[in-house]
Structure 1
Amino acid sequence: MVVEKVINNNLVRSYNEDNTEVLVIGCGLGFKKKPGDVIETSLIEKIYTIQDKKTSNQLIELLSSVPNEHIQTANAIVSYAKKALDCKISDNIYISLTDHLSYAIQRYEEGINFKNALIWEIKKYYSREYKVGLEALNIIETRLNIRLPEDEAGYIALHLVGASLKVGNVMESTDMLGMIQNILQIVKYQLNIEFDEESIHYERFLTHLKFFAQRIISNKSLEDDNEELIKTIQKEYKREYKCALKIREYIESHFSKFLTDTELIYLTVHIKRIAL
């Protein structure tokens, strides 16, 4: 790769072998470089593939203003998360997590600590992401000699949830968390049951609700394709279907979204399993 434009001493714009615009970061990578110069491979720390002009501008603004050690730390956390969670994580995480991390460090240095009001729910419903968040605190301490409070593990977990489920931002991840929690309460109340949180059925239901919440927030509900099946569900699983209808009422009143019959079918089936 060759330099297309020097942004600063540590950041240059270039194009990869597919002729796609990239931002290349590395300590001293742009020092005394000019357009057309070959990029020193040994100095490359991270290559960001640019999807659109907006993303390019956001990345340039962020990477130009954030200390390089914060960027390196965020990249290390993302690398660890990808391995630990073993799932696809949107590259947008590099923007959102780097920005959050740098601001969190700034707050810490100023003696400002934001309490995470959702920490209990995050531990409970996104336990894998939360464990990654805890390890992220260790990575931060090792690299920057700063020990951020446990609340930050929860915030990092929410960023990972949003990036792995491809929702827009932490606010949407928070909405999803509230939705899952309230749906579980509806099921418990309607069926008068207590969940066996160690059971495989509970785990499957929780997984279903995560993707269900993602679809609702992203306006991508499952399409209707089986009218006969919904009739069978209504007849055979009356109590569970009635519970699913309560969930639909909740979604409509709180999120102004309409659930398809197919979504109701899947909810009913999972509710039936968990109520056994």
Structure 2
Amino acid sequence: MNLIKSFNNNVALVEDASGTEWVVLGNGVGFGKEKGSLINEEKIKKKFIAASRRPFVDMIEEIPISIFETTEKMIQTAEAVIGATLNQQLFLALADHVHHAVKRVHENVDYPHTNRWELQKLYPKEHQAAVEAIRVVYDTSDIILPKSEETFLTYHFVNAQGRSAQLSETMKMTEAINQVITVIEYHYELELNEQSLNYLRLLTHLRYFLLRQIHGENLDQNDMDDDLIEMIKAKYQKAFGCANKIARILNKHYSWDITQNEKIYLTLHINRLLL
């Protein structure tokens, strides 16, 4: 690999024999090097394809090396907590995020920390990794990131696993869960107990229910006996009315057609939530 540009001693833009450009990181990888000189590949700890050079260059030149070092520790900690290797593309995205999060702390700017409780229940390992990542920032830089960062970092760690739950999908699901919970609370004129076991069971059901909607995979309409459906609708009229309301709102916001079976299962979870 040949050097194109050295950002500092440990970060450089290089080109391989095929002409592909990479951002490489490693102790001393860019130290004392001039443009066109060979890079000692044994020093490279991480590398990322620079698909669009200008955004990479602009971003990397702005980020202090201390942020890169902190980001590396955050990812190592997250991988240990989650028990999985995270996608390499996470490194630069997370470094950029942490850099701006630290700037927001200095400027006393924060975002509302919505969805934190739902994410904690939907993705407990990733949420715990986010909590630990905030601790890493504190340990390495004496900066306390706000609680809102638990949400943003959880999204990053979910997305970085290459799972079906991509970042946009996760955000849509947590947004929809908040809407469902709000409808239930308005319908029954009460505030749900977020610490209860039935609340956790509802969130678990909603996670798979909403994933099915996102992927267009509703439960088979013929899976449940018609007599049983009518019995549940009659026995749990208020819960079924709430499920119908939820179905109408989800259809309005996301154009999802909620089947009768989905509404029945939702009815049972809503009713159990209020026992």
- Trace 1:41-190 onto structure 2 (pairs within 5 A): 41-42=42-43, 44-48=44-48, 53-54=51-52, 58-86=55-83, 89=86, 91-109=88-106, 112-118=107-113, 121-122=115-116, 124-127=117-120, 128=124, 129-161=126-158, 163=160, 165-168=165-168, 173=171, 176-188=173-185, 190=187
- Deviation of 1:82 after TM superposition, in Å, equals 2.8
The alpha-carbon distance between structure 1 residues 205 and 47, as it changes in their structure 2 partners (threshold 3 A), is: farther
* Partner SS, residue 275 of structure 1: helix
Partner of 1:257: 255
How many residue pairs were aligned? 256
Give the Cα separation in 2 of the matches to 1:209 and 1:28.
Answer: 49
Superimposed CA distance per residue, residues 16-43 of structure 1 (whole angstroms, 9 cap, x where no aligned partner): 9x9986431124312315547243423x
Partner of 1:39: 40
- Deviation of 1:99 after TM superposition, in Å, equals 1.6
* Partner SS, residue 229 of structure 1: coil
Unaligned segments of structure 2, at least 5 residues = none
The alpha-carbon distance between structure 1 residues 154 and 223, as it changes in their structure 2 partners (threshold 3 A), is: closer
The alpha-carbon distance between structure 1 residues 38 and 158, as it changes in their structure 2 partners (threshold 3 A), is: closer
The alpha-carbon distance between structure 1 residues 29 and 211, as it changes in their structure 2 partners (threshold 3 A), is: farther
- Deviation of 1:183 after TM superposition, in Å, equals 0.6
Which of these two proteins has the greater Rg computed from alpha carbons? 2
Unaligned segments of structure 1, at least 5 residues = none
The alpha-carbon distance between structure 1 residues 27 and 183, as it changes in their structure 2 partners (threshold 3 A), is: same
Give the Cα separation in 2 of the matches to 1:21 and 1:215.
Answer: 39
C-alpha contact (below 8 Å) 1:22/1:47 kept by paired residues: yes
C-alpha contact (below 8 Å) 1:12/1:29 kept by paired residues: no
Give the partner amino acid of 1:116.
Y
Give the Cα separation in 2 of the matches to 1:226 and 1:188.
Answer: 29
* Partner SS, residue 105 of structure 2: helix
Partner of 2:245: 246
Give the Cα separation in 2 of the matches to 1:79 and 1:243.
Answer: 44
* Partner SS, residue 258 of structure 1: coil
Superposition RMSD in Å? 3.9
- Deviation of 1:188 after TM superposition, in Å, equals 4.8
